[in-house]
Amino acid sequence: MSQAAEPEVLTRVEGRVGRITLNRPKALHALNVAMCQAMTEALLAWRADPAVEIVLLDHAGERGFCAGGDVRMVAQSGASNGEAAREFFHTEYRLNHLLFEYPKHTVAFIDGVVMGGGVGISRPCRFRVATERTVFAMPETSIGLFPDVGGGWYLPRMPGHIGLWLALTGARLKAADCQLVGVATDYVESARVAELKAAIIADPAATERLLTEFEADPGRPEIAAHQDEIARIFSLGSVEAIVAALEASDSAWAREQARVLASKSPQTLKVAFRQLQLGAQAASFAQNMALEYRIAARVSSLHDFQEGVRAVLVDKDNAPRWNPPTLDAVKDEALDAIFAPLPAGEEWTPLG
């Protein structure tokens, strides 16, 4: 007899700590609807439980933390009626919001890849512990998606327009940069992570002190050398102006950014630009998530997302044929339709 498959999310209480462990290592812990539902159920059960003082979020196995969401499923759904895709986004965004508003301290160990959906469940946590294995990115423009799961809230609130640079280019950050921009609150060597987790479980009230005691030096942030250039160029008023400034720059770094942007979906670049503009003005995280759900409900059915998933994840030829193919061919009317309110009864709402 074959053994029953292990749950894709492990939830349990250890001492006075509610513990959520992502357990889908072959998929780099990419999130699906069932995983989001399991995390939501545990968080709701612990929210008012006096026996749970703090929530700890981590992953099983060596490879982690979470590479994103189940975009193949979303693409397959988007190619038909989009119902499963909308269910996934609705459920995932409710989880993101639940964590953002959670009344108890939460600590996420982002010991490894933290992209897309992994950002959505770790960034709202009070403590976010990076290691030398941490790699952060919001790479959605490469597949015709957009930096969701709260990206519209977090990215424009990073210093010096770094968030827009990350949103458009999908650039990857290591631990020191993650601390610089607020993705990580703490840095610990991966060899000491298990010891730190055990110490937190033994004395959850001492979490903040323990993080200080275990703190190591991640080194100098690599993007510090480019902060002035990012601030100057990515403060410009349109994607076209940003690309023109990068192409006109005499720095090799800027020209490389221009080359990277040329490979992305023009439509998605403009969606992300507008998303961050509106997210910066949002009065609440919930308002931002409602906006992102409108975008997700529509973008998941559009050509560029289908084509991006084909090129990057299915055929893996990395030669997407974007449509529209250029920035100037992306019309404001098309963007307006993506951002417009959904029909009555179809808008995203947070959990009660």
Residue 227 predicted with pLDDT over 90: yes
Residue 4 predicted with pLDDT over 70: no
DSSP character string of 74-90: HHHHHTTT-HHHHHHHH
- Mean pLDDT throughout 148-165? 98
Tally of residues, the chain: 352
CB 131 within 8 A of CB 175: yes
Token reading at 324: 């529209």
Nearest to 204 by CA among 46, 45, 328: 46
**Max CA-CA distance within the chain?**
65
Looking at domain 9-339, its CATH architecture is Alpha-Beta Complex (3.90)
Determine the Cα–Cα distance for residues 24 and 32; give it in Å rounded to an integer. 10
CB 140 within 8 A of CB 268: yes
CB 217 within 8 A of CB 193: no
Task: Give start and end residues of each alpha helix (H) in 101-236.
Answer: 117-122, 151-154, 162-169, 175-181, 193-202, 207-214, 227-233
Tell how strand 54-59 and strand 105-110 pair up. parallel
Q: What is the enclosing helix (H) or strand (E) of 315?
A: none
CB 171 within 8 A of CB 137: yes
Expressed in angstroms, the distance from the first to the final Cα of the chain is 43
Residue 183 predicted with pLDDT over 60: yes
Residue 2 predicted with pLDDT over 60: no
Of 62-66, 233-237, 301-305, where does mean pLDDT reach its minimum? 62-66
Q: Between these two residues, 68 and 246, which has the higher pLDDT value?
A: 246
- Mean pLDDT throughout 177-204? 98
Residues tagged active-site = 69, 117, 140, 148
Q: What is the pLDDT of residues 291-342, one digit of tens each?
A: 999 999 999 999 999 999 999 989 999 999 999 999 999 999 999 999 999 9
> Whole-number mean pLDDT of the chain?
96
Establish whether the linkage from the previous residue to 324 is cis, with ω within 30° of 0: yes
8-state DSSP, 317: -
With cut-offs at 50, 70 and 90, classify the pLDDT of residue 64.
confident
- Mean pLDDT throughout 155-178? 98
Q: What is the value of pTM for the model shown?
A: 0.96
Phi-psi region of 267 (alpha: psi -120 to 50; beta: other; left: phi over 0): alpha
Determine the Cα–Cα distance for residues 175 and 138; give it in Å rounded to an integer. 15
With cut-offs at 50, 70 and 90, classify the pLDDT of residue 219.
very high
Determine the Cα–Cα distance for residues 217 and 176; give it in Å rounded to an integer. 8
Determine the Cα–Cα distance for residues 291 and 304; give it in Å rounded to an integer. 20
Tell how strand 113-115 and strand 65-66 pair up. parallel
Residue 269 predicted with pLDDT over 50: yes
Phi, psi of 344 (to 5 degrees): -55, 135
Determine the Cα–Cα distance for residues 88 and 59; give it in Å rounded to an integer. 21
